[in-house]
Amino acid sequence: MIIRKKEHWFKMLFIWHGSVLPTVLPRLILLLIISICVVWLRGTIFSFKIPLNPVPLTLFGFVLALFLGFRNNVSYDRFWEGRKLWGALLNDTRSLARQAMTLPNIAEDNKSTTNFIQLLISFTYALKHQLRGTDASLDLKTRLNEEQFKIIAPTKFKPVMLMKLMAEWIKNIKNDNKIDSIQQARFDENLDKLSDIVGGCERIISTPIPYSYRVLLHRTVYSYCFLLPFGLVDSLQWLTPLIVVFIAYTFVAFEAIADEIEQPFGTEANDLALNSMCLMIETTLLELAGERLPEVEPQNGGIID
């Protein structure tokens, strides 16, 4: 994800990295070429004049803009829900760490509480890798002990198995009479919240926007853009290619943005900064435990993930 300081309005006109312009530029060039050909042929194909005028295209463009707005709202809702889930993850891991570090009988055993903190940190990294479909081995191997890593490494749903290890840790300290039943229930409540977060993220990643809806909108956007030169050529002449590309950029870019943020857990420029969120969670939990904080590499160009 890219987060920049507020840019001057003029500089924003020329920002390249982080915009969808690199993605849509080949399509805009194709539309430019088609528009130039339409103007050159004066809107005629095989001696047949395409009888279009701007009025129906204007009405159709207004309706299309409404559908694109709805499409972007749906995609942004998914993006924002993902961000809220990871915000809740930060709060719930802090709560579990605070409980482990401040309950008197548990806090005396530094090795045990540190192990629990590392399980929480590993959980966040495992969830990130599961959502992105990447290999979590390197991040987990450096944070889990050898026995725990052997249990987690071959599993498919690593965050769920890590929750099981945390539940077993809670069961063990209950059996050792370090906490009572009420305190155990409080731990379980926060573990249930972690389970809800995993389920919420899995719901987003496994339930895309219906494909037929995406295809319909995609076809409509490009049909409109390809017909637009025929409706403008008589009135705008050689200004037609410029106006068509400008209008097409708006519609095509909106569609590209919606596609990009529909799955917010990826690695594209406008997806959620899961690397930074994992590092934030790890830093705050280690600070609670009084452990050495991880080194943070300097970020350049506003890129934080």
The pLDDT tens digits of the residues spanning 180-208 come to 899 899 999 999 999 999 999 999 999 88
Q: Rounded mean pLDDT of 106-131?
A: 89
pLDDT of residue 231 exceeding 90: no
> Is residue 155 over pLDDT 70?
yes
284/119 Cα distance (integer angstroms)? 14
Which residues, at least 6 apart from 183, have a Cβ–Cβ distance to it below 8 Å? 99, 103
Measured CA distances, 182 to 93, 185, 187 (Å): 19, 5, 9
Q: Looking at residues 10-36, what average pLDDT do you find?
A: 84
The answer to whether the predicted template modeling score (pTM) of the entire model surpasses 0.75 is: yes
Q: What is the pLDDT of the chain when averaged over all its residues? A: 87
Q: What percent of the chain has pLDDT over 70?
A: 91
Question: Could you give the CA distance from residue 151 to residue 155 in angstroms, rounded to a whole number?
Answer: 8
Share of the chain above pLDDT 90, in %: 50
Q: Tens digit of pLDDT for each residue in 269-283? A: 888 999 999 999 999
CA distance 24 to 145: 47
Query: Is residue 298 over pLDDT 50?
Result: no
Over residues 101-126, the mean pLDDT reads 85
Q: Distance (Å, rounded) from C-alpha 76 to C-alpha 263?
A: 10
- Least confident span in 3-12, 187-196, 233-242: 3-12
Phi-psi category of 237—alpha, beta or left, where left has phi over 0 and alpha has psi -120 to 50?
left
